[in-house]
Each structure stands twice: as structure tokens, then as C-alpha cells.
Amino acid sequence: MQNRARREGPVRSRAWLCGLLMLAASGGVAGDDAGGAEPAQSQAPGVISLPQADPAPLPHPGGAVELDPIVVTATKRIRDLRELPPSVDVRSGTQLDHLGAIDLRSVVDTIPGVDLSEVFGDYSRISIRGMQTDNTAVTPAATGFFIDDVPLTDPFTLHARPDLPPFDLESVEILKGPQGTLFGGSALAGALRFRLRDAQPGLSEGAAFTQRAIPVDGAPHEIHGAAMNIPLGDSAALRFAGVQRQLGGRIDDLRNGIADTDDRRSLMGRALLRFDAGGDWSLGLKSFRQELAAADLSLAETTNGELTRERALRAAPYLTRTAFTTADATRRFAWGEVVAVMSQVRKSADHTGRFGERVLAIEDLGQPVDVPFREDIQGRIYELRLVSADDVGATWQWLMGLYAYDYDDVAAQSIIAYDPLLSTPLSLLDFDSDLVAQERALFVEISRSLGQRWRVTLGLRGYRARTAGETVSTGPIILATGSPENRNVADLRESGINPKLALAFAPIPQLEIHAQVARGFRFGGVQIVGSSPLTPDVSPSYRADEVWAYELGWRSEWFNGRLTADGALYYNDWTDPQLQSTTGGVVPLNTIDNVSHAVSQGAELTIAWRPETQGLGARMAASYVDARLTEDYVGPNDSLAAAGSRLPGSARHTLAATLDYTLRRGGQDMGLSLSHTRFGPGRNDLLGTLPILDYDSTDVRLFFAPRGGGAWPRASIGVANIADKRALTGATVVDAENITSTYNPTRTADLRLDWRW
């Protein structure tokens, strides 16, 4: 029997369906796919492991369900998921393919406690356990984003980051809570790590898919992809993968009479080479490229669910590129292995914002004010680590390593106005910045088993971090202050230790309890807009922020593995959170400031049920987040966020339930899945100007798959957001008549065909 994966997108269901799914809450069946290559997925507390259309595990004669381990490598060692603290979750590549996932939202929308809010287009912010302060592209991300061992989290801004199509992936690993011990300044609130499917010597295989989606009030989406693994003898292989996405727009520009103005496209390609020399050496080379482009920003100007705008005078296109090359070498010994990884990263962002009203205190003159932005980034990452042998049941397990990170960011931004009579551009204000970030670190993590019931893990990371550079402001506005330019120079140097201590205790074979305390930090930085006569109260730099995280959780399996119940309680103590703030005056400018203090606390629970009826599965996951300021914060323009104000961008609570059934007849598998998710209320900014989220989502998906491969594809059809329930997922408010907003996806039907050979 089988399960079926389906998309957990936005929607609202009838009361009887909600009740049915809540009563059914839990479970899901997992196992090997038709090719027998994909391990079954178990549960991580506070999240839903999506059902997949793979054969259900068969019960043993004694009634127990045999579950293959889920391999997790985000801890820089190969581990079974259920050996780790309960704040780790995994989505396999097969699950995501069967889900019909096409973007980052398709992944994170199914994980209670993890929220995604769009800034515009493919620019988005991910909040883990409520740890987020704003919904802009100004402040650096608190959540780390990794492809394999390559950090793609920018220390200064959020402008250039890939939206990786989830195709031909090994898995996506989600780590909640600060990961400062192993990942340094790149994962303050947690991390999302995309594991590429590596080249596999001795294996010849391929995969392809095509998908068409038709949303309500939007243009169709067309997504195509293919991958091929080519063996080069017995010890080497090449793997290629590529995905093309054409995502139809959905925002109607009423002023210029353009429907679906924000259509987007992306091209992704990667090549991987692997050479295994006699079992002792393994050498790898990876090259990744992605380009994202949009004709216009995906911003509406409403709060009532209408996907329209009418104030913007012209389109605001953008283009981002991400590329990296990674070389790795592994030497195996009897005691363990030595791993060396070297990566080179290149990123760029190029976009233009355009406005027509209330900019520079000028009413709409029929000509726009342009704000072009260009950013070029280079990064170099080096890591050398020693890892103990992965012996099952070993008393000691350890890893240690050296880490070096260098990052250069060159950016330019202007405010350009048009003469209302001559229509000629005039650059009023120009910002040019050249910034660097560095981190040097030594890390170690040691685990020891104390008998059959106890395991203790101690981790330490000693680091030195530096952010430095200068920004130069020029133009007529600066000249009017009596100076030809304003130069802002800063050099911040910090050092410290990120510790981690974890205890695991198994009082009975069915239950393991975890307790953990860990610290994480995020880089400080140089202010793009420094102190000047225009901005006398702006600091030339902003400080690094840090988090101390405390967690108590459990993993449990009952009734011979047919019922699992996992959960966690957590408390995050956040000092000096970084926040986007806007200066007052004639020319409002975005800056970064430090809020004094915040806390995030909450609970997560996942219950999974695999009844004896083969092919049937159900599961439920819930989370509650209370993230808020603990002290008053007064911004540069004297805005006040009082103590107790909720942190923005995350749902107060999330509840998700799934029910799926797979029927096997002859050589065919057929299945149906239902899912319902409730997103609780959230706020758009620290002042709580607008409510966001607060909606229900119900999806349905059917699939038909021939067993054993062959020429026939696996076909699936789904409808997400059946009730077409719409809610704000982000909003920026200048005043009551000047609002830009983003919405959850509308009702969308899609058809997908997958081939594997």
C-alpha cells in the first residue's frame, strides 16, 4: 500500500472536514518507492512529514511496523533523525516531488513553527519559532539558508538569495533554534539546508517532470525539469540537473491597464562530479547556477484580497543571479575521516523601485521617482573537519574542525526624480557601499553514551568575526547640507564562544527525552545610511545580536511503532535583535537598528498514526509561538514599540492535519490525500500596524502510478486552497492611503507528470 504526498497550501474547509481531519490526526505511511531507493520518513516534533506515494511498510509477524532510518547530515555527521533533538525535521526529495513542490513556500508551508512572508516576488523572509523583527529586504536574514555546505545567508541584506526548485534533491533539512556551534553567524534562528542529490558512481539513471498549474486570478505556471546520472567507469560519475520555471503573474496594474504584471521566470542548472578511489578517497566538484527575473514586483495595494494596484507609475523589474562552485575531498581511516570543503560564491541583485506619490513630499506629478539598486557579492568558504567513525553503538562520537569565511558586498543605490516639465532624470541622492565580513572559527562537538539510557553532547565554537567598510552619500541633497559628500566608515570586531550542551535520557525503550541549551549570533554591520545632517540620530553601525536557546523535548514510539508522539517546549532569549527602521524628515531612509531585548517561547507537537489497515495514514502537528519585546523600543523617527509588542511575520499558532489512503491493484497504485492547515494570526511589523495570516487551508491530491517503472509516468492532479481563502502574508504601511501588500497563493489546480528510468 502507499501514501500520497500533497501540497499543504492555503485554504479554508467546512467544519465537518476540519473535525474529521482533527479526529484522524496523525500517522502516514512511508517506505521505499517503486525504485526502492528512497528511505521511509519518520516524524520530527512540531512538523508534518508529508505522506508520499511509496509502498507502505509491511508489518512484522509481531505487528510492528518496520521503518527505515532517516539520514540527516546537517549536523556534519550522518545521523538517524530520531537520535537527534526533536527540533530537526527532514523532507525527502521524493516527498517534495510527489507534493508537486515548485518553490520555497511549497516546502515551509507544511511546517508549523516555520513561517514564510514575502517581501516582494522571490524575496521572502523565513521565521523559525517567531524569531523575526521585520518584513523588508533591508536587514539580514535570521534564518540560515544552505545548499549542502554553502551558506547563502547574506550578513548585510536580503536582496540576493536563490529560490531553489525542489527537484532531484536528496532532502531538505530544517533545524530549529540557533545553530551557532556548527554554522556560526549564518544561522541565528535556525537553518534550512538543501541537500543536492550527488553523482553516484556505477549508477545510470534519469528523471524528468513537467507540471502545469492554473491559479485563480493569475496566469498559468509552467515548470519543467530533467536530471541524469552518468557513470564514468566503476569509480566516477557525472550528474546534471536543470529546471525552468515560468510563473505567471497575478497582480493587475489598474493604472496602466496591465493584467498579471508580475510574471516571473527562473532557470537553474547544476553539474556534479564524484570520484571514489578505492574506498579510501572521495573527491567531488559541484557547480550551481540560478537566475531569477521578474517583470514587476509582486505587490498589491489592498487589504481586502483583491490582487490589484493603481499608484505605481511604471513596472519595477528585478533580476538576481546566484552561482557557486564547491570542491570537496574526503580521506577515510579506521578511526574516522578527514573532510575538506572549499566554496566560491557569486551573487548579484538588480532592481528598481518606482513611486509616484508622497515621495519627497511631492504629490503625484505623473512622473515616477526611481530607486534603482545594484548589489554584487563574492564569498569564499573553507572548512576542514575530522569526524569519528560512524560505528553503531559507539560510546564516543566526535567531530572537530576549522572554518574560514570571507564575504565582499559592493552595492549602489540612488533616488532619481524626473523634472515634471522636461521629464529629465535628476539623481537627488546616491549611496555607494563597499562592505566586508569575515569569520574565523574552531569548533568541536563530542557525544558520549552513558550506559543504555543516557547520552550527553557538548559542543563549542570559538570565533572571531569582523564586519567593516564604508558608505559614501552624494548628490544635490547632500550638497544642500553644505558638504560635497557624506562618508560613513565603521570596523566592528567581535569574538566569543558558542556553546551547546544536550542530554538525552531513555527511561523506557519507547521514549527518549532531550534537553538542550545553545547559543547563536548574527553579524553586526556598517550602516548603509550613516549619520549626516539628514540623519543626525543614525548610528554609523549596528551591533551583532545573540540568542540563548533552551529546549526540552521528547520522541516516542508506541504500539510497535504504529503511533509516534513527539514534542518540544522551548524558550529563546534574544539580545539586541536587528530591526529595519525608517528615518523621519523630507527624505525617509531605511536604516538598521538594534532593539533592546526580545523572547520567543512556545510548544510543538506531532502525532503520527499508522493503523493496521495497509495504505491508510493520518497525522497531526501543532505549534504555539509567543514572540515579543520585553522592553520599550523607540526608533529614529520617535515611533514607539512598547514592551509586550509581538514580533512580526509569524503565526501565533498553527495546526495541520493530513489523511491519506493508497490502493494497490495489479501493477498500479492509486491514492488520495486530504490536508487541512490552520494559520493563526500574526502582525506585519513591530508596531502591529496590520494583522496578517489568520486563515485556513484545505488541499486535495490524487495520483496514479505504475509500479516497477516503465515508460508510463507517475501522474498526479491536485487542488490547493480549495475555498480560495485569501489573507495578507506581508504588508508595508507608509500611511492609511499608501500600503503595499502580499497574499498567500489563490486556489490553484495543477497537473504533474514524473518519469524515472
SS (H, E, C) 145-199: EEECCEECCCCCCCCCCCCCCCCCEEEEEEEECCCHHHHHHHCCCEEEEEEECCC
Average pLDDT over every residue of 366-374:
77
Number of neighbouring beta carbons within 10 Å of residue 10: 30
- DSSP element (H, E) containing 94: helix 93-99
How far is Cα 6 from Cα 716, in angstroms, rounded to an integer? 9
Does residue 323 come out as left (phi exceeding 0), alpha (psi in the -120 to 50 range) or beta? beta
The conformational region for residue 619 under phi > 0 = left, psi -120 to 50 = alpha, else beta, is beta
| Tens digit of each residue's pLDDT (9 = 90 or more) over 542-588 | 888 999 999 999 999 999 889 999 999 999 999 999 888 777 665 66
Mean pLDDT across 37-45: 33
Q: What's the mean pLDDT in 714-723?
A: 95
DSSP 690: S
Q: pLDDT of 330-366, one tens digit each?
A: 999 999 999 999 999 999 999 887 765 544 444 445 5
Burial class (CB in 10 A: 0-12, 13-18, 19+), 280: exposed
Sorted by where each starts, the structural domains of the chain and their CATH numbers stand as: 15-756 (2.40.170.20)
pLDDT in tens, 610-651: 888 888 999 899 999 999 999 988 865 667 788 999 998 889
pLDDT tens-digit readout, 479-508: 887 788 888 888 989 899 999 999 999 999
Model confidence at 12: pLDDT above 50? no
SS3 label, residue 628: strand
pTM confidence score: 0.86
E strand or H helix at 752: strand 748-756
What pLDDT sits at residue 520? 92
Of 542, 528, 575, 253, the residue nearest 411 (C-alpha): 528
Scan for cell 552561482, then name that residue.
323
What are 134-182's pLDDT values in tens digits? 777 678 888 889 999 899 888 887 777 788 888 999 999 999 999 989 9
Nearest to 638 by CA among 587, 586, 585: 585
Contact 176, 190 (CB under 8 A): yes
